[in-house]
């Protein structure tokens, strides 16, 4: 009875850990001081940027390096400052160095402060790209910011899911250790031998 309760609680913890990665997917606990996926609009006023390729890498987030081309790519922008939420914002993605436009979204207001741009086919080829963001103020003034990224050869910026998978594996083995006497004897025997060295 006690072992089945431990197993049930352990499985609930594992289930919670597995789905909590979705909570960490957009920057985790990193503040803007250590956040490499941000760029400055004006002095001390930032936009946080994260790219996702949910079909190819469902649990990963990217910044300056996006691994695949020609796959659904979502670019997510979060304004770090309330004052930008009332401004219309325009987005463009260009292939560099030639400056060929691969995506454009005209000026719109985004009151929530979060903008999700979906590129259903991703970017067309491997190489360097530039995201152009233009905020249009009511007085006609424009704030321009740029963020570069490479496509086709990158790696996830977030290693959190690998750590999460290792934690889940460790937790599962620990639950097995607590609930299975034969497994516990084997592990205790291995630990006893290790202590002799």
Same-domain pairing of 96 and 181: no
pLDDT-derived band at 22 (thresholds 50, 70, 90) equals very low
Is 23 among the domain residues?
Answer: no
pTM, full prediction: 0.62
Instruction: Look at residue 36 and give its three-state secondary structure.
Output: coil
Angle at 155 between CA 171 and CA 59, to 5 degrees: 45
Tell me, yes or no, whether 24 lies in a domain: no
Residues 41 and 129 occupy one common structural domain? yes
The answer on 80 and 12 residing in a single domain is: no
Same domain, 36 and 117: yes
Q: Which domain holds residue 171?
A: 2-18+161-196
- On whether residue 26 sits in a domain, the answer given is no
Structure tokens at 45: 């006023």
Residue pLDDT, tens place only, 49-74: 999 999 988 888 998 899 999 999 99
Bridge partners of 117, per DSSP, are: 75
Structural domain contains residue 25: no
Please indicate, yes or no, whether residues 11 and 80 belong to a single structural domain of this protein: no
Q: How many domains does the chain have?
A: 2
């Amino acid at each position: 009875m006690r072992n089945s309760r431990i197993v049930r609680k352990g499985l609930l913890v594992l289930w919670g850990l597995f789905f909590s990665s979705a909570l960490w997917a957009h920057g985790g606990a990193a503040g803007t001081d250590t956040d490499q996926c941000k760029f400055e609009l004006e002095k001390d006023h930032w936009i946080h940027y994260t790219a996702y390729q949910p079909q190819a890498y469902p649990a990963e987030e990217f910044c300056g390096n996006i691994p695949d081309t020609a796959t659904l790519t979502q670019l997510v922008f979060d304004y770090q400052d309330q004052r930008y939420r009332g401004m219309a914002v325009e987005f463009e993605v260009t292939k560099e160095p030639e400056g060929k436009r691969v995506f454009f979204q005209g000026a719109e207001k985004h009151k929530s402060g979060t903008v999700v741009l979906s590129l259903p086919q991703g970017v067309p080829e491997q190489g360097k790209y530039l995201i152009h963001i233009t905020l249009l103020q009511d007085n006609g003034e424009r704030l321009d910011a740029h963020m570069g990224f490479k496509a086709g050869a990158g790696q996830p910026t977030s290693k959190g899911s690998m750590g999460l998978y290792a934690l889940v594996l460790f937790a599962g083995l620990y639950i097995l250790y607590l609930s299975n006497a034969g497994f516990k004897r084997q592990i205790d025997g291995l630990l006893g031998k290790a202590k002799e060295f």
